């Protein structure tokens, strides 16, 4: 028997994107739900991830536009970055959304329990001396920044994204260790704020999971912006000094900077909470699940960054919804992770959905592809952005992948997502008229070309 309130239909452990989305959908389906959170509802995405980084990136965009205003015939003078103002803007957006999500959960009758939960049986979670019983348990404890063996984070000179979001100054120089999404986004922000930035990435390209041509376009754009890159080089060590850090790379090259940002990925938060003791299978730190996010223990599900799927807030939302619907017996369709859009919100942005050409070949597809250069897209020229839309399609078949680089292309990925997930043929999309002048015309132009009737294309 539970000593705390309950039993509930569902007890959710962790109130981030995955956990709270599950709670909301379950409540909508008439289930009684308790949501346990030890810190702040909204989790990493709202407080330490998606939202605060995007406010910084927007401040960065405003800084660049102010610097470049003369090119548009506007007189303005860039006088510098006021970090207090940058944080005030960030905190205003975060707090508003935080208030909103808490109100939403309460309005749906979800019981929010503040405290650190621990699984004490397949259907029981303890918070302090209280035990909450659930007919189903959903684990949604998320992830935390990782580091490399021997690389110590001191929070002063050697920092993670969590420290970077609270930094009270613009550093004069930064080495960013890791050319994945988080590293690239911070590199972009700091460069716009005026810092000297060098990215160190062990693999040969930035954003190694993206289509190689997208990575190369980003690297070129970053070089033009003065963001230095050490690609295909391993980090060896870092020494902190009174004024900063000295980073040594394999081969002996050294880089001096005020800060080292360690952005080498995030590890699932899966230990010390009774998961293994309850018999939950864990592999390389992440909880093992099937296509319905069921763990190895009946009645216990896991979602979000805790499981080895895409570490994205919207993937977590989708998993939370899937689990609520599965528990409610709605027979939901498992998630096609290739169909989940991915965006890096740097300048320029990189966005994609579907698979890369390398993956398509590995999977035995015979493919055709077309790249539309944004140089031919007037709206992109107005925005003064360079980049491209690349579409990969099965020969005489549906679109398999859409890969884009350029300012604001993140907003275009939604069309790519519909095209990919509806298995549309290029010729079907080519029938649809794109508004002029928009950046979305670049998607239309690529489809027209693949359908054999290119419009604004030089041969
Ligand atoms: C810098 C950065 C930028 C990002 N940008 C984006 C982006 O632009 N778009 C995007 O889609 N994704 C982005 N992400 C990823 C996104 O934030 C995560 O994928 C998402 O937050 C995962 O949600 P989650 O619910 O699995 O975990 P989390 O959001 O980490 O939530 C887990 C929650 O569980 C709580 N918790 C943990 N253990 C316990 C316990 N024992 N008891 C009670 N509560 C507990 C934690 O306090 C936390 O609130 C970014 C991440 C970072 C770090």
Structure confidence by residue, pLDDT tens digits, 102-127: 999 999 999 999 999 999 998 999 99
Task: Provide the pLDDT for residue 347.
Answer: 98
215 CB-near residues (< 8 Å, 6+ apart): 205, 206, 207, 208, 350
CATH (domain of 237): 3.50.50.60
Does the CB atom of residue 197 touch ligand 1 within 6 A?
Answer: no
428 within domain boundaries: yes
Q: Is residue 413 part of a domain?
A: yes
Interval 312-326 mean pLDDT: 98
How far is it, in rounded angstroms, from Cα 206 to Cα 112?
40
> What distance in Å separates the CA atoms of residue 446 and residue 388, rounded to the nearest whole number?
10
Mutate to test the pocket of ligand 1, among 11, 12, 16 (most ligand atoms within 8 A of CB): 16
Calculate helix-pair angle for 441-450, 413-421, nearest 10 degrees.
Answer: 40
> Which residue has the CA at smallest separation from atom 30 of ligand 1?
142
How distant, in Å, are the alpha carbons of 26, 64, 267, 287, 348 from that of 148?
A: 39, 34, 11, 21, 28
Mean pLDDT of the chain: 97
Both 13 and 109 in a single domain?
yes
Residue having the nearest C-alpha atom to atom 15 of ligand 1:
312
pLDDT tens per residue across span 398-412: 999 999 999 999 999
Q: Specify whether 273 is located in the same domain as 138.
A: yes
Ligand 1 pocket, 344 CB below 6 A?
A: no
Number of domains in the chain: 3
Find out whether 387 and 409 touch, Cβ atoms under 8 Å: yes
- Report the separation in Å between the CA atom of 354 and the middle of ligand 1, taken as the mean of its atom positions: 24
Length of the chain: 459
**DSSP code of residue 294:** B
Q: What is the pLDDT of residue 5?
A: 61
Among 337, 364, 393, identify where a domain stops.
Answer: 337
Lowest mean pLDDT among 5-19, 174-188, 260-274, 435-449: 5-19
- The model's pLDDT over 365-382, given as tens digits with 9 standing for 90+, comes to 999 999 999 999 999 999
* pLDDT at position 282: 98
Is residue 213 one of the residues assigned to a domain?
yes
pLDDT band, very low/low/confident/very high, at 3 (cuts 50, 70, 90): very low
Q: In CATH, what number is assigned to the domain containing residue 408?
A: 3.30.390.30
> Is the bond leading into 437 cis (omega within 30 degrees of zero)?
yes
Residue 431: give the domain boundaries.
Answer: 348-450
Q: For the segment 280-309, what is each residue's pLDDT rounded down to a tens digit?
A: 999 999 999 999 999 999 999 999 999 999
Residue 157 reports pLDDT greater than 80: yes
The strand pair at 259-262 and 399-406 is best described as unpaired
Q: Which residues have C-beta within 8 Å of that of residue 224, sequence separation ≥ 6?
A: none
Q: What percent of the chain has pLDDT over 70?
A: 98
Nearest in space to 184 (alpha carbons), one of 169, 201, 159 = 201
pLDDT of residue 458: 84
Structure tokens at 308: 């080895």
Compute the C-alpha angle 182/183/188, nearest 5°.
100
Mean pLDDT of 178-197: 98
CA of 297 to the centre of ligand 1 (A): 23
Q: Is 406 helix (H, G, I), strand (E, B) or coil?
A: strand
pLDDT of residue 400: 98
Using the predicted structure, report yes or no on whether residue 4 has a pLDDT greater than 70: no
Q: pLDDT category, 2, cuts 50, 70, 90?
A: very low
Q: Evaluate if residue 1 carries a pLDDT over 90.
A: no
Burial 164-173 (b: 16+ CB within 10 A, else e): bbebeebbeb
> Which ligand 1 atom sits closest to the C-alpha of 44?
29
pLDDT tens digits, one per residue of 67-86: 999 999 999 999 999 999 99
Residue 45 alpha carbon, nearest atom of ligand 1: 17
Q: Are residues 20 and 132 in the same domain?
A: yes
Q: Is the CB of 261 under 6 A from ligand 1?
A: no
Q: Point out the domain boundary residue: 264, 287, 306.
A: 264
- Each residue of 220-236: pLDDT tens digit? 999 999 999 999 999 99
Report, as residue numbers or ranges, the catalytic residues: 436
Asked if residue 331 is part of any domain, the answer here is yes
| pLDDT for the residue 320 | 98
With beta carbons less than 8 A apart as the criterion, state whether 392 and 399 touch: yes
CA 153 → CA 188, 240, 259, 340, distances in Å?
Answer: 22, 11, 11, 32
The answer as to whether 455 is a domain residue is no
């Amino acid at each position: 028997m539970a000593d705390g309130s309950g039993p509930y239909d569902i007890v959710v452990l962790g109130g981030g994107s995955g956990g709270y989305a599950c709670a909301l959908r379950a409540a909508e389906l008439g289930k009684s739900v308790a949501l346990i959170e030890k810190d702040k509802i909204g989790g990493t995405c709202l407080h330490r991830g998606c939202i605060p980084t995007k406010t910084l990136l927007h401040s960065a965009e405003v800084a660049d536009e102010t610097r470049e205003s003369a090119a548009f015939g506007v007189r303005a003078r860039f006088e510098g970055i006021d970090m207090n103002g940058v944080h005030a803007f960030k905190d205003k957006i975060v707090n508003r959304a935080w208030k909103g999500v808490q109100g939403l959960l309460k309005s749906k009758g979800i019981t929010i329990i503040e405290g650190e939960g621990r699984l004490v049986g397949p259907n029981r979670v303890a918070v302090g001396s209280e035990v909450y019983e659930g007919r189903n348990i959903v684990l949604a404890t998320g992830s935390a920044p990782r580091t490399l063996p021997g690389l110590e984070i001191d929070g002063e000179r050697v920092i993670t994204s969590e420290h970077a979001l609270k930094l009270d100054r613009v550093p004069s120089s930064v080495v960013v260790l890791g050319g994945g999404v988080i590293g690239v986004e911070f590199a972009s922000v700091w460069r716009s704020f005026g810092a000297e930035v060098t990215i160190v990435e062990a693999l040969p390209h930035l954003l190694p999971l993206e289509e190689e041509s997208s990575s190369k376009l980003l690297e070129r754009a970053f070089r033009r912006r003065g963001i230095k890159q050490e690609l295909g080089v391993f980090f060896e060590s870092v020494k902190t000094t009174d004024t900063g850090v000295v980073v040594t790379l394999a081969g002996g090259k050294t880089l001096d900077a005020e800060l080292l940002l360690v952005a080498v990925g995030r590890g699932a938060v899966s230990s010390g909470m009774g998961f293994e003791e309850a018999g939950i299978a864990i592999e390389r730190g992440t909880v093992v699940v099937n296509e319905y996010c069921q763990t190895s223990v009946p009645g216990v599900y896991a979602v979000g960054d805790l499981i080895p799927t895409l570490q994205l807030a919207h993937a977590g939302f989708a998993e939370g919804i899937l689990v609520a619907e599965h528990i409610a017996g709605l027979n939901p369709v498992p998630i096609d992770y290739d169909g989940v859009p991915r965006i890096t919100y740097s300048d320029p942005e990189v966005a994609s959905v579907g698979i890369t050409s390398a993956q398509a070949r590995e999977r035995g597809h015979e493919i055709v592809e077309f790249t539309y250069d944004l140089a031919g897209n007037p709206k992109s020229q107005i925005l003064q952005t360079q980049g491209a839309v690349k579409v990969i399609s099965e020969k005489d078949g549906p679109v398999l992948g859409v890969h884009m680089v350029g300012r604001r292309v993140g907003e275009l990925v939604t069309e790519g997502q519909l095209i990919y997930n509806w298995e549309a043929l290029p010729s079907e999309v080519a029938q649809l008229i794109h508004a002029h002048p928009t950046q979305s015309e670049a998607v239309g132009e690529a489809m027209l070309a693949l359908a054999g009737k290119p419009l604004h294309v030089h041969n």
